[in-house]
Amino acid sequence: MHTSAHILNEQFIDNAWVPSLSKTRRPVYDPYRETRIAELTCGDPADVDAAVAAARRAMPGWRATPETCRGEYLEAIASGLEIRRRILAELSSHNNGKPLAEAYQDLDDAIACYRYYAEAAVILGQRQGTVEDADQPNMEARRYWDSIGVVGLITPWNFPLVSSAWKLAPALAAGCTVVFKPSEVTPLPEQVLAEIVMEAGLPPGVFNLLQGDGEGIGAPMSHHPGIDKLSFTGSNAVGEAVMRAAAQGVRPVSLELGGKSPILITEDADIELARDLVMAGICYNAGQMCSATSRLLVHERLADKLYAAIDAAMSELRLGDPLATETDMGPLVSALQQSRVQHYLALAKEEGLHSETPTLALPEHGFFVAPLLYREVPTTSRLWQEEIFGPVLCARRVANDAEAIALANDSNFGLAATVVAGNPDRAESIGRHLEVGNVWCNSEQVAPPQGSWGGMKRSGIGRELGDSGLDAYLELKRITRPLKA
């Protein structure tokens, strides 16, 4: 693995590691041990220029590469990840702080994603030139799909290798060349992608990886006229900045942004299932998920029992070393994220919010925040309205499904929701009325490669995964011509 003795001052451009033109570096931390594990270049706009130039040079050849061949490259990337599964899972836990079991799930999701789009590339080749009725005498029409060009991909820190797979796999399958910026907070797992790409034999310039922060790399990428499309996952504030930058030149964007997702529990729900799904929705990855179900809407007949069950489950969580197999929840990713969540806890005290969750002892070190359930939170509370990105659950009791749906939809966000009901048909009926992109009925949150990911309202623009994920990197072309004599 290329880490330059943990001094990450090189960029991967044109299939080679080259020194960054930036002399400024920033630290990378282990969030459990609170130790510095690497120094990362902040990046420079000239690095972006070089990467975009390489991607543009590679574009004609990669676009002309047969789809079946592109699929073979993606299979090779999946195999490269699989070979390094244990190493990458441990590296992700070390850099991100998530428990090892979750890191292994991430690796498996990423591998499956590359394999799915390897097959999708083959299917794309079979679809090229699809004949359809031209609706004109003696004429026919054919459909073709061309790659959109050079794409800029920017991913967050909460799901290393997964968020990147959701973008890289369909972009490469579509015939795009890429300039990829992973998060500066969790750069170590993504570094390995360059090594895998080299082993897979991708032509120079098809994949370019730039390490750095928003100022050194992110903003210059967003404004670069040589990038034909931008795909960003992260905060709303940065997403809006990316969209403003993309307006110059009328370049398309895909944005996967924030969430304040609800979980709705009906009076006939199985209480143990409801408890487990509530816990998974707010404590997985220490609540650092855009889809975290951080607003609990529970029928008044079940509320007190469910609150008590959640408090008991939270008090039994084992917080600790993410590399230890017995750990249920690791630390937050950074001291900054910890302070952000603690700020909301201070706001809760100011607002007089009520919690009966037993105080959970925290490890002696690490950026931990203990999970908390606040009961009967007013809808005017900032904790109810704003994305916290930590293990903080706000709850309200409701009288019926209509009230639950209305409160669930009363949000600026619309990414996801969970519904737990005794009758699956009732759960689905409730889900149909929710203004979100994904609804899980009596199920944990799953996002398979063939699915769909994205939201409504301020949760973003466009969809990832499935056919929609591939279409995001393609331009549809229709050619009409006379019928052959």
Model pLDDT for residues 276-321, shown as the tens digit of each residue: 999 999 999 999 999 999 999 999 999 999 999 999 999 999 999 9
Nearest residue to 259 via CA among 274, 244, 239: 239
Domain check: are 416 and 474 in the same one?
A: no
Return the percentage of the chain with pLDDT > 90, whole number. 96
- Structure confidence at residue 2 as a pLDDT band (50, 70, 90): very low
Q: Is residue 33 part of a domain?
A: yes
Cα atoms in the 13 Å half-sphere on the side-chain side of 53: 6
Q: Is residue 185 part of a domain?
A: yes
Residue 477 CB burial class (10 angstroms; 0-12, 13-18, ≥19): exposed
> Could you read off the pLDDT of 143-202 as tens digits, one per residue?
999 999 999 999 999 999 999 999 999 999 999 999 999 999 999 999 999 999 999 999
Q: Is residue 484 part of a domain?
A: no
> What are residue 107's phi and psi, to 5 degrees?
-60, -45
Question: Would you state the structure tokens that stand for residue 263, as one six-digit string?
Answer: 């979980």
Domain check: are 267 and 186 in the same one?
A: no
Nearest residue to 27 via CA among 48, 2, 45, 9: 9
Domain check: are 145 and 286 in the same one?
A: no
Q: Which residue of the set 42, 290, 394, 441 is catalytic?
A: 290
Q: Which residue of the set 102, 184, 190, 256 is catalytic?
A: 256
Residue 243: pLDDT above 80? yes
Return the percentage of the chain with pLDDT > 70, whole number. 99
Distance CA 419, CA 430 (A): 7
Which CATH number characterizes residue 273's domain? 3.40.309.10
Domain check: are 229 and 281 in the same one?
A: no
Domain check: are 77 and 212 in the same one?
A: yes
To which residue do tokens 């795009």 refer? 176
283 in active site: no
| Number of domains making up the chain | 2
Domain check: are 411 and 474 in the same one?
A: no
Q: Provide mean pLDDT across the span 433-450.
A: 98
> Could you read off the pLDDT of 17-66 as tens digits, one per residue?
999 999 999 999 999 999 999 999 999 999 999 999 999 999 999 999 99
- Structure confidence at residue 5 as a pLDDT band (50, 70, 90): very low
Provide the residue range defining the domain that includes 110. 4-257+459-479
- Structure confidence at residue 485 as a pLDDT band (50, 70, 90): low
Q: What is the mean pLDDT of the chain?
A: 96
- Structure confidence at residue 3 as a pLDDT band (50, 70, 90): very low
Which CATH number characterizes residue 73's domain? 3.40.605.10
290 in active site: yes
> Could you read off the pLDDT of 347-398 as tens digits, one per residue?
999 999 999 999 999 999 999 999 999 999 999 999 999 999 999 999 999 9
Q: Is residue 485 part of a domain?
A: no
What are the distances in angstroms from CA 33 to CA 280, 332, 348, 363?
25, 12, 28, 10
Residue 468 CB burial class (10 angstroms; 0-12, 13-18, ≥19): middle
Q: Is residue 454 part of a domain?
A: no
Domain check: are 240 and 274 in the same one?
A: no
Domain check: are 9 and 38 in the same one?
A: yes
Q: Is residue 336 part of a domain?
A: yes
- Structure confidence at residue 4 as a pLDDT band (50, 70, 90): very low
